[in-house]
Structure 1
Amino acid sequence: MKQSAKRYSPLQVALIGGAIATTATVSVFGPGWCRSVRAALQDSPKQVVDQVWQLVNREYVDGSFNRQNWLTIRQSLLSRNYSSREEAYTAIREALQKLGDPYTRFMDPKQFEALTNQTSGEVSGIGIRMEVNENSKRLVVVEALENSPAIKAGIKPGDEIVAIDGKSTRQMKIEDASKLIRGRAGTMVTLRLEREGHSAFDLKLTRATIEVPTVRYALKQEGRRRVGYIRLREFNAHAADQMRRAIRDLNGKQVDGFVLDLRGNPGGLLQASIEIARMWIDNGPIVRTVDRRGGSDESKANHTALTNRPLVVLVDNNSASASEILTGALKDNKRAIVVGSQTFGKALVQSVHELGDGSGVAITIAHYYTPKGTDINHKGITPDIKLDLTEEQQRQLASNPDLLGTNKDPQYTRALNILSNNQFAQPLQNQTTQKANSFGADNLRL
């Protein structure tokens, strides 16, 4: 698979849901094509059915189609008359289920739009994070995002949102409030806020397109060491740029080492994972993909690493897909020591296509292997130092994410131990196995 970093876009979609994630490539059907045929296909659901069949027929990684007669399936699909798009969508889903691949799936227009919006790493709104205060049960601003309309208007953490465009937020769910606040860039929304020491006031804001932070980082003074802690939540279209800024900023602060936190990261864009790997690895292979014809494509580091400082990577059993590509590259090249739980185990690559009526389909097109040729599918990556959290520890960190990367976080403190002991000359390849409890993979996940 050949991909240009300039080409990946919202069409190169990730995240099937939860820990099930895709690593996606670019669609062969461009936006221009879709616009030109959308009107024609609007009332022809059978053509959308055939479009999906043709894409799977051309691209699907298993040429036997899970031992299904794919031509017979096409004949069956096209022999029916579909009275609505919903009927056609049901038929498509039933056909794709026969492939036995949860990552090859159909999305209706709303699902496809949600997926592409998430992968773009952008939202249209005012740029705030909210929560419902446990005590007051009121909607409270947690953070105003950098360069957002909210921060420019002076919204502060702790501000209570009592109304949105005149609609009271009392007993309103976060999801419902988000729907009211988000909207097309350039449109207006009015918030009524209450702030400690001030009477309630109205604030009119103009919505804008905002880059969502997927990288969060901090300089931590841990004893005599200056540690750069970086948490990457997903590999969206802005992840590489945000990671680059984080590493450069922490380099400027003279860190002694880094902790890269990939726990709970479900994956995302293939090209983003390759770009980020190149920021840490100066020379060596990153990942190899193989299509159904046996065609192989290997991505390598290109002497553009931003740092050679010691690195520890934190993973768990929800670190999947693109997270595993990055982890596998760092581990196999002995660039980092990996700490945590066995990773999810997804070694398949999807191509995501927009269809003529605004729906979409994700198709598994390749299998990937780590630099040492390891197939991690359904197995995951075994950390160099296996440290499973207890159920209580997982629950505590999940309910209070601010504890991640602190001394209340056992996996982070183990990473600090490694940095302090300079265990980087010879990474501890599967030498040390530590368990904080006896819970297995079905335990509550972070």
Structure 2
Amino acid sequence: MRTKSTLLLLIVAIIVGFAARATFQVSHVARSRVEPNAPNPSTAAAPTGPRTDVGTRSDVDLRPLEIFYNVLKLVRDEYVEPIDKPQEKKMAYGSIRSMLDSLHDPLTRFLEPEQVEAYLKMSEGKFQGIGAVIQVVQVKQNGFTEEGLSVLSVVPGSPAEKAGLKPGDNIITVNGKMILPYDPYQRVEKLLKDAQTQQIPREKLVKILEAENDRIKNGIGFQKALDMLCSNNSNEIEIAIKRAGTGANLTFKINPATTVVNPVTWWNPKPDIVCVKVRLLNKKAVDELAQAIPEFKQKGYRAVILDLRDSLGGSLEAAQSIAGMFSPGKTLTIIQLPKSKTKPIKAAVQPADRVWSGGLAVLVNSSTSGLSEVLAASLRDNQSAKLIGTKTAGQNLKQTFVELSDGSGITITTGKYLTPKSKDFKGVGLNADIAVNGNSEQIDKAVEILSKPKGGSV
């Protein structure tokens, strides 16, 4: 009888959980990357967007707002405890989060005013939290495919880098709490469905249900986990990961902090070849490259290696300006918009002294994502520059940031970046023209090719 009553209680708890999914929930939104999508997700430079207010739209069905207003009024008038203004604001913010969460798009999210401030600082190269670009991935485990978190890249000099976190690490727990997917109940739904058609011993069913109940009760939603990882609000965060390739389970204790990224650096792997590392596509990167390219030409360099490995993405405007220093006026990308519309985006037209016409090769890897991929694809398609390294991340979703009237804001996925040849690389990435593993080996290969006696890009 104990087994039967336990099973009934668990099923009741699960049904209550299903009902709770339909209610408004308050969850925290991660300060993640804008361009690219990131992922991600995923930390990147944040483009500014328009400040907007709700207006009158004849094509918008306002009936859901009427329902929301009626519920809010009912709670305000009838709830047993007084509802003050801060509580009403919290309820409204939670409702907006839940509305956006229902899209199951981690890049479309709501930001509170203080989050907006931190978010916009990313365009200056200031990253809060552990200092890693975190992406949402599909994880297959025990016959289920669910959303999980993975490290796309690690910010140089960040707490994450110092602790030993690496790209490809799959995050299992944060502060001992297991990462939950958008729908943490799908396992239970399948289990109960299977129980109707299969002979599952009652004791085994109870044991599995108890384990699932504990997992959900003690877990943490990945949006809230992202918020913890990408903010400075915690003194220390314990992260358990499974390392890609080796399968090793490792635990790190990381103290969040603000990491400042220098967007552009360069060095000479050979006297007449310069390697330019672009970590972030922002205004500072544009300004530094605008000064550097005339200097490269004056020094008589024969070739540039543009290193976009582990690039943190950035703004479309910066990508246009940088692309214009190599292929001015050419198509940078074609944006695929809603309703099958497309919009070509051109690289900027730069003064002649800022345009590089010598040899060019581009380094890429699995952490080259979003607008860094867009830039790499445009240089390959327009300048015949070879991509050297490994396949890129395949993140090409276009994010738009909109600041709302009270200082809060939303990021929303508004399109996809295609290559100049209209190729959609979402989820598949860009293949390297010359596949090479190893950081130093990739640079050596670029130097070898650029040293050959032929002009132009390779």
TM range (shorter): 0.5 to 0.7
Specify the code of the residue in structure 2 equivalent to 1:233: R
Matching residue of 1:89: 93
Q: Which residue, out of 388, 392, 395, partners 1:339? A: 388
SS of the residue 1:324 aligns to: helix
Give 1:114 deviation, angstroms: 1.0
Quick one: distance in 1 between partners of 2:355 and 2:375? Answer: 15
Whether 1:113 aligns to 2:117 is yes
Q: Which residue, out of 35, 58, 71, partners 1:80? A: 71
Quick one: distance in 2 between partners of 1:327 and 1:281? Answer: 12
Quick one: distance in 1 between partners of 2:385 and 2:341? Answer: 30
Matching residue of 1:416: 447
SS of the residue 2:51 aligns to: coil
Q: What do you get for the CA RMSD once the two structures are aligned? A: 3.8
Matching residue of 2:402: 353
Give 1:332 deviation, angstroms: 1.2
Tell me the TM-score normalized by structure 2.
0.55
Give 1:101 deviation, angstroms: 1.8
Matching residue of 2:50: 28
Quick one: distance in 1 between partners of 2:398 and 2:426? Answer: 11
Give 1:301 deviation, angstroms: 4.1
Matching residue of 1:269: 315
SS of the residue 1:230 aligns to: strand
Matching residue of 1:383: 432
Report if aligned partners of 2:360, 2:457 keep a CA contact under 8 Å in 1.
Answer: no
SS of the residue 2:272 aligns to: strand
SS of the residue 1:344 aligns to: coil
Cα gap change, 1:87/1:274 in structure 2, threshold over 3 Å: closer, same or farther? Answer: same
The answer for unaligned runs of 5 or more in structure 2 is 1-32, 76-86, 128-155, 160-253
Quick one: distance in 2 between partners of 1:322 and 1:256? Answer: 27
Report if aligned partners of 1:19, 1:266 keep a CA contact under 8 Å in 2.
Answer: no
The within-5 A match list for 1:394-413 is 409-413=440-444
Cα gap change, 1:24/1:380 in structure 2, threshold over 3 Å: closer, same or farther? Answer: farther
Q: Deviations over 1:301-355 (max 9, x none)?
A: 4653611111111111111111011001011124311111111112221110112
Give 1:380 deviation, angstroms: 1.0
Report if aligned partners of 1:265, 1:323 keep a CA contact under 8 Å in 2.
Answer: yes
Report if aligned partners of 2:305, 2:361 keep a CA contact under 8 Å in 1.
Answer: yes
Report if aligned partners of 2:281, 2:319 keep a CA contact under 8 Å in 1.
Answer: yes
Give 1:230 deviation, angstroms: 0.6
Tell me the TM-score normalized by structure 1.
0.56
Specify the code of the residue in structure 2 equivalent to 1:80: V
Q: Which residue, out of 100, 107, 115, partners 1:103? A: 107
Report if aligned partners of 2:398, 2:414 keep a CA contact under 8 Å in 1.
Answer: yes
Identity %: 27
Q: Of Structure 1 and Structure 2, which has the larger fraction of its residues in helix? A: 2
Give 1:294 deviation, angstroms: 3.7
Cα gap change, 1:308/1:289 in structure 2, threshold over 3 Å: closer, same or farther? Answer: same
Q: Which residue, out of 252, 255, 264, partners 2:301? A: 255
The within-5 A match list for 1:43-442 is 74-81=65-72, 83-121=87-125, 213-220=262-269, 222=270, 225-282=271-328, 284-301=330-347, 304=350, 306-389=355-438, 409-422=440-453, 427=458
User: Highest CA radius of gyration, 1 or 2?
Assistant: 2
Cα gap change, 1:323/1:70 in structure 2, threshold over 3 Å: closer, same or farther? Answer: farther
